[in-house]
């Protein structure tokens, strides 16, 4: 019964976002499955906003207050958009070739097995990882018992954004008592939701057949599978970062200006999920600029897109900024002191070695994944350099690598390069789906041009 | 046996020792690819190379999936028959069991101070502190700890704990000589 309450709350926030954002998602051409996936992420974002707004106005954060606001939003959404959309994914069987049927069947079996692995692993254990207890579950528990965000300022990492911890508290409100036995479900569902979205996007920028292969490649990461069964923020961060970037690229590719609004929403969600959202923000802005230039958009169009992106993401992020300002939480230790006396060359060598090890030798990815990314990039640059989408995907991946390279080279984060516990792969996972899309895009260009 | 595919469920992902086999495999793959791409362009098209690369990669998914299934089977065989309390007791050991009993005997919200001989600043101490804080909550050992506002004292792995107990506190729960929960008289 408790588990049902937990699931009900996750469903409730999803259905509210579904009705509120459906016109936007439909206008962008997403399928019904992808819209449900997007609603899951944005629904939990709405919950975060409600928690923060209630706290700002001094109203207790309880199941009653939060669900009342959600019910009002749901009512507004239903009144505005009463009709369900038709799923555009319906494809008549006669259009699909035998080879495609065989490949899709094999991929669906593979994916089903992996989704079962993820859900069974996620539900088999309560919250147990150190980071999740310290920076999420403990804080979520204080919000659950006190009905306020004030105590977060005195807990560990007061400056950490609280998208995931509000999701945890919201789930627990549904249960009525704090029991973290099924907490990992939130993260497994995020993985499933992202799978729907990713497949839809891959199908838009490649073909149906290659989208299936893209799913295979996505699921080939051990790190992603493991993180979908743990209560770490990184699966959500991966989803928000990738969806934001994909939205920017599709803005150029499809020419629909509403993609900027869509990207801005997910940019704000990435800012609300992890501190890494802040250094990613310039990447998003640069990618809007580059996409606009490459797709030959007018100066006015690019300028409008940038302003719109900045305003929307700032408005969504603003309540959290009020929280941080009120409780006196800073933005973290980006300029922390560097321990050790390594010169620039030594630093360069150490960071290179670490990146190389994490990308190529550790079991976080399929053994051939990053070599395939390199090979795809080579083919793209030599043969298909005129493909704007492929080039932009490659540039965005290089930007993300540069962000981490510069961060490690110039700030105190370099200390973690020396430590065994450093988890750079987790950061790489945030843009890993973009690398999968890059391989898929090159495969599509190759396959189509045969 | 060459260990090329791994699925070690570390809490941060899969930390796997570097293996020369893996390095050799990756580099021979890349070198063959680049060689064929640049020097044999006339007889082997880049299309064939790209598709061959994907096929090789997809084939490697099979052993990977079997390892994932084996890891799930191992986890299920241990944890499936257990209740939630048993799972946590196995995962977190003493801090969890102690916290569970303490919260049963002291229901409701309390401000507490943790007194221990364990060094909470390094090694396992970090984890113990966090687990105690999490599982003891709503007995809060973080917010008012050491400010004098606390109404509960938690002695965990404190040698001769009773000797350190202030006079205005009474013992609520004492599972051993080194573990003890005490509350300020009149505060409850």
Domains of chain B, by residue range, sit at 20-79, 84-184
Average pLDDT value for residue range A416-429? 77
Contact call for residues A206 and A33 (beta carbons, < 8 A): no
- Quote ipTM for the complex: 0.85
* Dihedral Cα B164, B170, B173, B178, nearest 10 deg: 10
Nearest to A364 among B13, B56, B68 (CB): B13
Q: Would you call B64 and A450 a contact, using CB atoms and an 8 Å cutoff? A: no
pLDDT surpassing 50 at residue B131: yes
How would you label A247-275 residue by residue, b for 16+ Cβ within 10 Å and e otherwise? bbbbbbbeebebbbbbbbbbbbbbbbbbb
pLDDT number for residue A361: 79
Residue contact B13–A213, C-beta within 8 A: no
pLDDT in tens, A26-75: 999 999 999 999 999 999 999 999 999 999 999 999 999 999 999 999 99
Closest of B147, B172, B154, B170 to residue B112, by C-alpha? B154
Average pLDDT over residues A115-139: 90
Interchain CB contact of A383 with B (< 8 Å): yes
Mean pLDDT of A342-362: 84
**Mean pLDDT value of segment A263-287:** 94
What mean pLDDT is reported for chain A? 89
- Residue B14: pLDDT band with limits 50, 70, 90: very low
Residue A184 touches partner B, C-beta closer than 8 Å: no
Whether residues B16 and A363 touch (CB distance < 8 A) is answered with yes
Give how far the C-alpha of residue A370 lies from the chain's centroid of Cα atoms, to the nearest Å: 20
Q: Residue A260: is its pLDDT beyond 90?
A: yes
Q: What is the pLDDT of residue A110?
A: 92
pLDDT attached to residue A104: 87
Q: Which of A192-206, B76-90, B162-176 has the highest mean pLDDT?
A: A192-206
Contact residues, chain A, for B54 at CB < 8 Å: 213, 372, 439, 443
* C-alpha to C-alpha distance for A258 and A262, rounded to whole angstroms: 6
Short-list A45, A37, A59, A60, CA closest to A13 = A45
* Under 8 Å between Cβ of A182 and B84: no
Between A83-87, A160-164, A275-279, A370-374, the lowest mean confidence (pLDDT) is in A83-87
Query: Is the pLDDT score of B49 beyond 80?
Result: no
What is the pLDDT averaged over residues A273-293?
94
Closest by Cβ to A367, choosing from B9, B26, B76:
B26
Q: Of A51-65, A283-297, B161-175, which range is least confident?
A: B161-175
pLDDT for position A150: 87
Q: Does B6 touch chain A (CB under 8 A)?
A: yes
Which helix (H) or strand (E) segment holds residue A96: the answer is none
Phi, psi for residue A128 in degrees, rounded to 5: -135, -20
Q: Given a cut of 70, is residue B165 above it in pLDDT? A: yes
Residue B9: pLDDT band (50, 70, 90) is very low
Q: Which residues contact A252 (CB under 8 A, 6 or more apart)?
A: A291, A292, A294, A295, A297, A388, A389, A392
Dist. CA A199–CA A204, nearest whole Å: 9
> How far, in Å, CA of A254 to CA of A3, rounded?
42
| Contact residues, chain A, for B71 at CB < 8 Å | 121
Q: How far is CA A288 from CA A254, A295, A392, B110, in A?
A: 14, 11, 10, 51
Contact B57 A364 (CB under 8 A): no
Residue A78 reports pLDDT greater than 60 = yes
- Residue B182 φ/ψ, nearest 5 degrees: -130, 150
Q: Which of residues 143-172 of B touch A (CB under 8 A)?
A: 143
Window B:104-133, CB contacts with A under 8 Å: 109, 126-127, 130-131, 133
**pLDDT at B20 > cutoff 70:** no
A176 touches chain B (CB under 8 A): no
Name the residue with higher pLDDT: A319 or B10: A319
At A331 the pLDDT is 57
Nearest alpha-carbon partner for A440 in A390, A370, A366, A381: A390
Instruction: Decide if A372 touches B, using CB distance below 8 A.
Output: yes
Contacts of residue B175, Cβ cutoff 8 Å, sequence gap at least 6: B98, B101
pLDDT > 90? residue A272: yes
Q: Which two tokens stand for residue A192?
A: 């499933």
Interface probe with B: pick from A226, A380, A440, most Cβ of B within 10 Å: A226
Share of chain A above pLDDT 90, in %: 62
From chain A, pick out residues whose CB is under 8 angstroms from the CB of B147: none
List B residues 41-70 in contact with A (Cβ-Cβ < 8 A).
46-47, 49-51, 53-54, 56-58, 60-61, 64-65, 68-69
pLDDT at A332: 53
* pLDDT recorded at residue B144: 64
């Amino acid at each position: 019964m408790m588990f049902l309450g937990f699931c009900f709350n996750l469903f409730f926030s999803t259905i509210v976002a579904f009705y509120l954002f459906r016109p936007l998602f439909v206008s962008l051409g997403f399928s019904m499955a992808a819209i449900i996936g997007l609603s899951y992420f944005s629904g939990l974002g709405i919950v975060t906003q409600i928690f923060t707004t209630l706290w700002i106005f001094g109203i207790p954060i309880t199941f009653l207050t939060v669900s009342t606001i959600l019910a009002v939003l749901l009512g507004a959404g239903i009144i505005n958009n009463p009709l369900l959309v038709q799923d555009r994914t319906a494809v008549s069987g006669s259009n699909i070739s035998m080879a495609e049927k065989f490949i899709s069947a094999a991929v669906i079996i593979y994916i089903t097995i992996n989704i079962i692995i993820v859900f069974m692993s996620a539900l088999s254990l309560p919250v147990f990882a150190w980071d999740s207890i310290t920076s999420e579950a403990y804080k979520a528990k204080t919000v659950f018992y006190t009905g306020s965000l004030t105590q977060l300022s005195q807990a560990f990492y007061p400056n950490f954004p609280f998208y995931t911890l509000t999701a945890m508290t919201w789930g627990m409100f549904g249960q009525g008592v704090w029991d973290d036995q099924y907490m990992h479900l939130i993260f497994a569902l995020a993985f499933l939701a992202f799978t729907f979205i990713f497949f839809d996007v891959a199908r838009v920028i490649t073909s149906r057949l290659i989208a299936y292969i893209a799913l295979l490649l996505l699921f080939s990461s051990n790190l992603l599978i493991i993180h979908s069964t743990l209560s770490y923020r990184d699966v959500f961060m991966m989803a928000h970062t990738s969806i934001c970037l994909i939205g920017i690229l599709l803005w150029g590719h499809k020419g629909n200006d509403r993609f900027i609004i869509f990207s801005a929403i997910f940019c704000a969600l990435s800012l609300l999920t992890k501190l890494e959202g802040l250094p990613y923000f310039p990447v998003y802005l640069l990618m809007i600029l580059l996409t606009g230039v490459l797709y030959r958009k007018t100066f006015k169009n690019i300028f409008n897109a940038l302003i719109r992106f900045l305003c929307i993401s700032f408005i969504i992020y603003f309540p959290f900024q009020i929280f941080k300002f009120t409780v006196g939480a800073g933005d973290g230790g980006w300029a922390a002191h560097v321990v050790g006396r390594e010169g620039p060359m030594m630093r360069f060598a150490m960071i290179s070695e670490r990146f190389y090890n994490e990308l190529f030798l550790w079991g976080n990815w399929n053994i051939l994944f990053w070599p395939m990314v390199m090979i795809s990039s080579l083919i793209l640059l030599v043969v298909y350099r005129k493909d704007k989408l492929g080039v932009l995907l490659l540039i965005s991946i290089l930007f993300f690598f540069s962000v981490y390279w510069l961060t490690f080279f110039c700030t105190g984060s370099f200390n973690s390069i020396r430590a065994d516990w450093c988890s750079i792969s987790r950061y790489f996972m945030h843009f890993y789906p973009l690398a999968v899309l890059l391989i898929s895009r090159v495969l599509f260009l190759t396959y189509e041009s045969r | 046996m060459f260990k090329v595919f791994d699925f070690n469920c570390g809490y941060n992902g899969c930390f796997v020792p570097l293996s020369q086999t893996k390095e050799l495999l990756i580099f021979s793959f890349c070198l063959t690819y680049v060689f064929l791409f640049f020097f044999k362009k006339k007889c082997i098209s880049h299309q064939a190379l790209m598709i061959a690369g994907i096929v090789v990669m997809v084939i490697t998914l099979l052993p990977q999936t079997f390892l994932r299934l084996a890891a799930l089977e191992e986890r299920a065989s241990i944890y499936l028959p257990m209740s939630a309390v048993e799972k946590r007791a196995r995962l977190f050991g003493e801090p969890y069991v102690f916290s569970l009993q303490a919260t049963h005997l002291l229901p409701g919200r309390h401000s507490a101070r943790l007194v221990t001989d364990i060094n909470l600043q390094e090694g396992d101490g970090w984890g113990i502190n966090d687990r105690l804080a999490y599982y003891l909550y709503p007995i809060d050992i973080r917010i008012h700890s050491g400010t004098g506002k606390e109404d509960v004292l938690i002695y965990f792995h404190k040698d001769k704990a009773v000797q350190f107990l202030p006079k205005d506190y009474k013992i609520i729960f004492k599972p051993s000589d080194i573990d003890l929960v005490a509350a300020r008289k009149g505060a409850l």
